[in-house]
Amino acid sequence: MALLEVHNIHTYYDHIHALKGISFELDRGEIVALIGANGAGKTTTLNTISGIRHPREGSIIFDGQPIHHLPAHEIVQLGIAQVPEGRKIFSRLTVMENLDMGAFTRRDRAAIQEDLERVFKLFPRLKERRNQLGGTLSGGEQQMLAIARALMARPRVLLLDEPSMGLAPILVESIFQTITEISQQGMTILLVEQNANMALSVAHRAYVLETGRIVLYGPAAEVRENPQVRAAYLGEA
Amino acid sequence: MSLGLLLRLGIGLLVLAFFAYRFYGVLVRGAYGAETWARLAISGLIIGSVYAVIALGYTLVYGILFMINFAHGEVMMIGAFAGYFVLEAFAASGFSARQPVLAIIITFLAGMTVSMLVGISLERIAYRPLRGAPRLVPLISAIGASIFLQNAAQLMFGSMRRTYSNPPALERNVGWVLEVAGKPVSITYTGVLTFAFSVVLMVGLYLLVQRTRLGRAMRAVAENKEAAALMGVDVDRVIANTFAISGVLAGAAGVMWGLHNGIIYHYVGFIPGLKAFTAAVLGGIGNIPGAMLGGIVLGIAESLTPAVLDMPFQLKDVLAFAVLVLVLIFRPTGILGEVLAEEKV
In a domain, A236, yes or no: yes
Pairs of CB atoms within 8 A across A/B: 68
Answer yes or no: do A60 and A2 share one domain.
yes
In a domain, A32, yes or no: yes
Answer yes or no: do A166 and A65 share one domain.
yes
Q: What are phi and psi of B197, to 5 degrees?
A: -70, -35
| The domain boundary residue, chosen from A132, A154, A176 | A154
CA-closest candidate to residue A213, choices A34, A54, A15, A31: A34
Answer yes or no: do A144 and A171 share one domain.
no
Pairing mode, strands A65-66 and A57-62: antiparallel
Answer yes or no: do A72 and A186 share one domain.
yes
Task: Please give the mean pLDDT across all residues of chain B.
Answer: 93
Answer yes or no: do A67 and A17 share one domain.
yes
Tens digits of residue pLDDT in A103-141:
999 999 999 999 999 999 999 999 999 999 999 999 999
Residue B194 makes CB contacts below 8 A (sequence gap 6+) with B46, B49, B50, B256, B259, B260
In a domain, A43, yes or no: yes
Answer yes or no: do A176 and A104 share one domain.
no
Tens digits of residue pLDDT in B48-100:
999 999 999 999 999 999 999 999 999 999 999 999 999 999 999 999 999 99
Cα gap A36→A43, rounded to integer Å? 10
In a domain, A84, yes or no: no
Tens digits of residue pLDDT in B231-258:
999 999 999 999 999 999 999 999 999 9
Q: What is each CA distance from B244 to A125, B60, B70, B154, B271, in whole angstroms?
A: 39, 11, 15, 24, 22
Q: Under an 8 Å CB criterion, which residues of A touch B?
A: 50-52, 71-73, 76-77, 81-82, 84, 86-93, 97, 100-102, 104-105, 135, 149, 153, 166
Using an 8 Å CB-CB cutoff, list chain A residues near B216: 93, 97, 100-101
Domain count, chain A: 2
Asked if the C-beta of B134 comes within 8 angstroms of chain A's C-beta atoms, the answer is no
| Mutate which: A88, A151, A165, vs B, most B CBs within 10 A | A88
Cα gap A130→A189, rounded to integer Å? 26
In a domain, A13, yes or no: yes
Distance from CA of A215 to the nearest CA of B (A): 29
Question: Where would I find the beta strands (DSSP E) of chain A?
Answer: 4-13, 16-26, 31-36, 57-62, 65-66, 80-83, 157-161, 188-193, 205-210, 213-219
Answer yes or no: do A146 and A164 share one domain.
no
Taken in order B8, B10, B15, B16, the sign of the CA dihedral is positive
Answer yes or no: do A128 and A184 share one domain.
no
Nearest residue in chain B measured CA to CA from A138: B345
Tens digits of residue pLDDT in A24-57:
999 999 999 999 988 899 999 999 999 999 999 9
Report the pLDDT value the prediction gives residue A202, as an integer from 0 to 100: 95
Answer yes or no: do A166 and A52 share one domain.
yes
Using an 8 Å CB-CB cutoff, list chain A residues near B343: 91, 135
- Check CB contact under 8 Å for B216 and A100: yes
In a domain, A233, yes or no: yes
| Percent of chain B topping pLDDT 70 | 97
- Check CB contact under 8 Å for B231 and A97: no
User: Does residue B204 surpass a pLDDT of 50?
Assistant: yes
Cα gap B267→B274, rounded to integer Å? 12
Q: What are phi and psi of A4, to 5 degrees?
A: -130, 125
Question: Where would I find the beta strands (DSSP E) of B48-167?
Answer: 162-163
* Number of other CB atoms surrounding residue B156 within 10 Å: 10
| Residue A233: band (very low, low, confident or very high) from pLDDT cuts 50, 70, 90 | confident
Answer yes or no: do A63 and A173 share one domain.
yes
Tens digits of residue pLDDT in A179-208:
999 999 999 999 999 889 999 999 999 999
Pairing mode, strands A157-161 and A188-193: parallel
Answer yes or no: do A4 and A56 share one domain.
yes
In a domain, A65, yes or no: yes
Using an 8 Å CB-CB cutoff, list chain B residues near A146: none
| Residue B343: band (very low, low, confident or very high) from pLDDT cuts 50, 70, 90 | very low
For position A182, which CATH number holds?
A: 3.40.50.300
Report the pLDDT value the prediction gives residue A237, as an integer from 0 to 100: 53
Of A35-44, A215-224, B59-68, B324-333, the one with minimum mean pLDDT is B324-333
Tens digits of residue pLDDT in B139-157:
999 999 999 999 999 999 9
3-state percent breakdown (helix, strand, coil) of chain B, nearest 5:
75, 5, 20
Report the pLDDT value the prediction gives residue B321, as an integer from 0 to 100: 87
- Check CB contact under 8 Å for B231 and A153: yes
Report the pLDDT value the prediction gives residue B342, as an integer from 0 to 100: 40
Say if CB A56 and CB A12 are below 8 A apart. Answer: yes
In a domain, A97, yes or no: yes
Residue span of the structural domain in which A134 resides: 89-154
Distance from CA of A142 to the nearest CA of B (A): 10
Answer yes or no: do A148 and A166 share one domain.
no
Q: What angle do CA B296, B298, B300 make, to 5 degrees?
A: 70
Cα gap B50→B257, rounded to integer Å? 8
